[in-house]
């Protein structure tokens, strides 16, 4: 079983063919990065980009971030060589492989078996490299529950909005924005919720895809705010200017983090011998119980992963 649920508020897409961008990415405050061998690399540059990606992983300097490579999709002629060359060359420096355009569980199982074989051959820890499945079309969405439960290596589901919009003929050219003429709600709500339910039912993380209007930070906050509010773990970023906004969106507000930590502290004390062994108690004007504790764990966990610190810790009543 792979390690999972590491913080992934912001995941930076880094073209595997661009050494300048690879170097710059090392200094950005993202929780995850992926070196891209797919859409960001031209066909004639695929082979040389694999070696550049291997070199960047082996060289290191990525801190504690989740290290990912997006390979080409299984309908291409490049995918199997991507896996073989990257894992044989840098498997010890790789956390996950991102598989794009996943349409069904067999594609994930192919990658799982290929990783099994390479790890055995190279003497790498068995099961040490996780898989992230990118859902980018209607076929992948309608089978997302099967995909989410098909492999113990699976760590995360990722929404690919641009390809998805094209696959269903959505009448919009702005990724993530509402299509003109659709005025009865959120055109993406069903998609986002479907991925979220499949992920949570299988103890996976779930990430929103990129917002392509890189200078429009208000638009990024508006679109990213939807998935953050639903409970997504993070969102892709394409440009350094987007990092701070996304990290902020997917971290709790300070007052919410403080409140969550105080619920946990108060509930622990009230259920103890010293606190009267109560299953429900008051925190100010709010009643807290086991359900409150579970909700607070979610918010506190996100805040801790973001490195937040408490500003007004609760203390037990005296006397």
pTM above 0.85, yes or no: yes
Residue 149 placed within a domain = yes
- Residue ranges in the chain modelled with pLDDT below 50: 1-5
Residue 5 placed within a domain = no
Provide the domain count of the chain: 2
Same domain, 36 and 126: yes
| End-to-end CA gap in the chain | 48
Give the pLDDT score at 34.
96
Same domain, 33 and 73: yes
Gap between the Cα atoms of 218 and 245, Å rounded = 9
Note the pLDDT tens digit of each residue in 154-211.
Answer: 999 999 999 999 999 999 888 989 999 998 899 999 999 999 999 999 999 999 999 9
Q: Determine the structural domain holding residue 50 and report its residue range.
A: 10-249
Residue 43 placed within a domain = yes
CA separation (Å) from 243 to 7, 44, 215?
14, 30, 12
Q: CB neighbours (10 Å) of residue 200?
A: 14
Same domain, 24 and 88: yes
Residue 78 placed within a domain = yes
Contact 241, 214 (CB under 8 A): yes
């Amino acid at each position: 079983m792979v390690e999972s649920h590491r913080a992934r508020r912001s995941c930076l897409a880094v073209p595997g063919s661009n050494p300048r961008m690879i170097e710059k990415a090392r200094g950005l405050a993202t929780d995850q990065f992926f070196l891209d061998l797919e859409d960001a690399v031209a066909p004639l540059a695929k082979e040389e980009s694999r070696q550049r990606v291997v070199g960047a992983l082996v060289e290191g300097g990525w801190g504690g971030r989740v290290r990912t490579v997006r390979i080409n999709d299984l309908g291409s002629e490049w995918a199997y060589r991507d896996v073989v060359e990257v894992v044989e060359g840098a498997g010890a420096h790789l956390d996950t492989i991102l598989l794009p355009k996943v349409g069904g569980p067999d594609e994930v199982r192919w990658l799982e078996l290929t990783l099994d074989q390479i790890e055995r051959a190279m003497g790498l820890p068995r099961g040490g490299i996780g898989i992230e499945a990118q859902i980018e079309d209607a076929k992948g969405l309608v089978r997302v529950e099967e995909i989410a439960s098909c492999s113990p290596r699976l760590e995360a589901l990722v929404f690919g909005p641009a390809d998805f919009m094209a696959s269903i003929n959505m009448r919009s050219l702005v990724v993530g924005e509402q299509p003109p003429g659709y005025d009865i709600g959120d055109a993406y709500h069903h998609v986002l919720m479907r991925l979220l339910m499949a992920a949570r039912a299988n103890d996976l993380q779930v990430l929103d895809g990129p917002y392509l209007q890189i200078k429009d930070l208000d638009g990024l906050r508006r679109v990213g705010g939807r998935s953050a509010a639903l409970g997504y773990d993070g969102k892709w970023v394409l440009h350094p200017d987007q990092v701070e906004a996304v990290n902020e969106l997917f971290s709790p507000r300070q007052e919410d983090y403080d409140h969550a930590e105080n619920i946990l502290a108060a509930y622990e004390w009230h259920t103890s011998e010293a606190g009267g062994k109560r299953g429900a108690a008051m925190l100010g004007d709010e009643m807290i119980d086991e359900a409150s504790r579970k909700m607070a764990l979610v918010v506190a966990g996100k805040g801790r992963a973001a490195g937040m610190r408490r500003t007004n810790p609760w203390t037990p009543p005296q006397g």
